[in-house]
Amino acid sequence: MLAAPSYLRGQSLGAGFPDRPIRLIVPWAPGGSVDTIARIYQPRLAEVLGRPVIIDNRGGASGATGAIEASRAPDDGSTWVFVYDTQATNETVMRLPFRTMEAFVPVCHVASGPLAMVAHQSTPYRDFQEVVAAAKAAPETLNYATSGVGGLAHVATTLLQQEGGFRMVHVPYRGGGPAVQDVVAGHVKLFMTNVVIVSQHFRSGVLRPLGVSTRTESRHVPNTRSFAQQGFGSFEAPTWWALLGRAGTPDTLVRQMNEAMVKVLNEPAVKSRIEEQGCDVVGSTPEECRRFMEAEITKWGRVITDNNIRVDS
């Protein structure tokens, strides 16, 4: 755990923030991974900061609606936004009224985890290679769901199809919550998703993991080979969650929020609850978060451009 810097010692981590509840914008509807993780750390974050932290769900447009709202918020430390990997891909796949690294200041890379291609229990598939074989035998007949157009799950699956020479049909949803409901019900048989919202369905046997996007097997999806191990070279596409502030937020407040987040994320009770969902706590510095996000925007922006992925695709 990071030690509190000298300017924080002997005072509340929330000292210097505006004297009103802190607004935490979650740009997704309740039920998805972003909301799930936020609601795990939010109560302790409020206690550490010494002031209420209110979650404001602003779902829509693969996280863009809430991000636009956050980009227009005051830069006084009263509003923060908890984003998903779509924050990096939306920049290329959509026409947004801002550039992420100009409109926001990275605060903390909160967590990362594997994406997984999962199948409903009614399907015959036991691994991703069997899906590839079926898709090659009957191109554009297999449907797969994601939480939205242009998100990392969509872009990563597009790259898999490009590298593997097969074609599937994308079925985008307005968030992971609605998508997982339809997949569990068997309305869509395949789903590319983070593990957080489906781990309980692995345990129940309703959904079956076929492959993960980490370089090798993930402890969060036991006995499931990675896509790289199933013939896709060095393929790697971990999903992630990060806390951002409005550009112009005083650096002192950014540092205080980072210290508070790192403290909370490293508390055993909070860390274990987040990681049992299917991801790993990172708890980075603001500088590490910035470097990570810049690399993600560049990497996936290239795939989006090469494959002409747009919000209407």
**Which segments of the chain belong to CATH 3.40.190.150?**
6-112+238-306
pLDDT one-digit tens code per residue, 105-160: 999 999 999 999 999 999 999 999 999 999 999 999 999 999 888 889 999 999 99
Would you state the pLDDT for residue 312?
A: 56
pLDDT for 299? 93
**What six digits make up the tokens of 72?**
């227009």
Residue 12 is predicted with a pLDDT of 65
pLDDT digits over 42-53, tens only?
999 999 999 999
Amino acid (one-letter) located at 290: R
Which of 221, 12, 205, 244 lies closest to 106 in space, CA to CA? 244
Q: Which residues of the chain have pLDDT under 50?
A: 1-11, 313
pLDDT digits (tens, 9 = 90+) for 15-36: 889 999 999 999 998 888 999 9
Cα distance between residue 47 and residue 264, in whole Å? 10
What's the angle, vertex CA 109, arms to CA 106 and CA 110, rounded to 5? 130
CATH topology of domain 6-112+238-306: D-Maltodextrin-Binding Protein; domain 2 (3.40.190)
- Where does CATH 3.40.190.10 sit in the chain? 115-230
First-to-last CA distance in the chain? 43
In terms of CATH, what superfamily is 115-230?
Periplasmic binding protein-like II (3.40.190.10)
Q: For strand 22-26 and strand 79-84, is the pairing parallel, antiparallel, or unpaired?
A: parallel
DSSP 149-182: TTSHHHHHHHHHHHHHT---EEEE-SSHHHHHHH
